Amino acid sequence: MKPLPNPFCAQSLGGAALLLVLLGSGQPSYGQQAPPPPAATLTGTFEAVPFAEFARRVAAATPYRLYFVPAETDSLRVTLAATGQPVPEVLRQVLGATRLHFSIDADYRVYITAGEAVQTQLPADFFAAPASALPPVATAPASPSRLAAGAAPAGRAAPGRVYDIGLGQAPANGKATLTGRVRDGRGESLVGALVYGAAPGSGVSTDQFGAYTLTLPVGRQQLNVRSLGFKNATRQVQVYGSGRLDVELEVDVTSLKEVVVEAEKAQNLTSLRMGVAKLDIKDIKQIPTVFGEADILRVVLLLPGVKSIGEGNTGFSVRGGGADQNLVLYNGAVVYNPSHLFGFFSAFNADMLKSAELYKSAVPARYGGRLSSVLDVVTRDGNRKQFSGAGGIGVLTSRLTLEGPLAHGKGSWLVGGRTSYSDWLLRQLPSRNLNNSAAGFSDLSGHLAYDLNDHNSLYATGYFSQDRFRLATDTVYNYRNLASSVKWKHTLNDKLYGVLTGTYSRYQYGLRSDRTATTASELSYNLNQGGLQADFTYFASTKHTVEVGASTILYRINPGQLTKVGDQSLVVNTTLAQEQALESAVYLSDRFEVAPRLALEAGLRYSLFDALGPRTVLTYQPGLSRS
């Protein structure tokens, strides 16, 4: 700041230093007076007067002295007529439509700043009592500059704020455990965000729910949080004992001038886990789409070791395995047919997805039931801040997704649907066979997330899809997918949490032919499975993680049912015997990071499969003909 010519509003170097010291509170008001002096009045007429001239006239007529940066006010012109108005009211009229703020101290000094207002006095609890005399976190009052972590609003931080963690505690070993969640500005949990302190090797990453557990020494610490695509966040914490701190990250947009692609560029290791490819929804939507639909399965087919099993087929092969050797999960529930319309479209609505992981080898012990690969698809939790929606109309399909908060931000909901209208395109083709064909699909999915408290969270997901097509014949083919899951996450202590998951999946296939009355029939098949799984994760340290769990799945299969259609049909109704089985498993895995680029991981999974009755078994006497 440079001094003004008028001695009544001159700005000295000491005044600038005082201004820097007093900066520290981001109050969003235009007037902050602490304590306010008796207001003086101003009388005068100003016609497009430069702000510097306005400041001189105020200083000449009143005891107020204005301090400001000339570069921030050089374009400001003052036009008003004041008759005995208090100076603070005049300043509100002048600065109300700008981004400038003002504060007034007890000596009639007015500090005008851009962005944040100046705090003109220290907070009441600036000289706080010793830690031993402080009350517990649950009753600790929040102040503008110091706030108990348990009362942090939505994880946002103000400049200079210090978070008190675990007030009233005194750990014997001098260390405390900090837990919490990392979310974005809409309340979505961020998976894989890095949370670390100042000590080397003290960092951890958030799990699939955005939660973290970090061990820190007692005392003043700086907590750093990083996530790809978001601005880095820093929190100043005073650690007295174990506690909780939630962090909210802002989206970071970086403008790139150019992109240079180089062949045979050395790739840096970003993960110690081999044979796994993690797909982010942002990457999925950047891949060229078919008929305007982002397709996660098309992206999977671009990965090394993955290929389509054939044109017009819906499956994919991983490193030579069959299509039935892939386990496809949608928030933990099995989806048996993950494609629509002969494989042209994925069964998943891209607007609802958060990420997907494809395990091609070294599959974690918590997964089982398939030999080749595991594709784990995860949906977003939904917007916890406000109601929003997204949609699109394409050549063959349309989609709509809606989301919003629940219970004042404690939860969220997300629902989306798609439908196709491809028959009109088939009628435009020159082939007569295709003109007489029909094809279409639709799907609907929903997701709920709700935090009961800091230790318990509930998640529920439902998915339904159906396909129906006819190819130049009288035969109509159809199949349906149904998948649902309910998860309960419970934090037992600072280093141990468990997830209880219940799932139900159903796949139904059928075909119907009724052109000829005497052979009109309908064939149907369905597979049902219900499962229950418990997973426990123990963080022995920041480099040592142990997972243990158990699961059980009940299968019910109807191999086939043939029924006649119409009274003239000569088809004999036939129903094959129902089959059912129980598959159970227990597992244990241990992961230890020896060095930044070396980790040891071992896992053991023990599975049991029991075929259940009732079932008809035919036995033949020895020596007799079986034909």
Integer Rg of the chain from CA: 33
Q: By the 8 A CB rule, do 11 and 1 touch?
A: yes
Beta partners for 500?
A: 488, 534
Does 455 have pLDDT greater than 60?
A: yes
Tens digit of pLDDT for each residue in 268-309? 555 667 788 888 887 777 777 666 778 888 888 888 888 887
Q: Which two tokens stand for residue 208?
A: 């699939």
* Res 159: pLDDT: 58
Q: By the 8 A CB rule, do 524 and 508 touch?
A: yes
User: In the chain, pLDDT over 70 holds for what percent of residues?
Assistant: 84
Q: Which amino acid is at 394?
A: G
* Res 253: pLDDT: 78
Tens digit of pLDDT for each residue in 383-416? 999 999 999 888 888 999 999 999 888 999 999 9
Burial track 390-420 (b if 16+ CB lie within 10 A, e otherwise): eeeeeebbebbbbbbbeeeeebbbbbbbbeb
Cα 444 from Cα 539, distance rounded (Å) = 37
- Give the domains, in start order, of the chain with CATH numbers: 7-114 (3.55.50.30), 131-248 (2.60.40.10), 277-378 (2.170.130.10), 406-612 (2.40.170.20)
Supply the pTM of this predicted model.
0.63
Which segments within 106-253 are labelled E, that is strand? 109-114, 146-148, 162-165, 175-183, 194-196, 204-205, 211-217, 219-226, 233-239, 243-244, 247-248
| Cβ atoms < 10 Å from Cβ of 481 | 24
Q: By the 8 A CB rule, do 319 and 360 touch?
A: yes
| φ, ψ for residue 55, nearest 5 deg | -65, -40
Higher pLDDT, 266 or 415: 415
Residue with tokens 């000094």: 109
Three-state SS string over 247-305 comes to EECCECCCCCCCCCCCCCCCCCCCCCCCCEEEEEHHHHHHCCCECCECCHHHHHHCCCC
Tens digit of pLDDT for each residue in 215-245? 888 888 889 999 988 999 999 888 888 888 9
> Please, how many CA atoms are within 13 Å of residue 266, restricted to the half-sphere of its CB?
1
Average pLDDT, rounded, for the chain: 82
Does 566 have pLDDT greater than 50?
A: yes
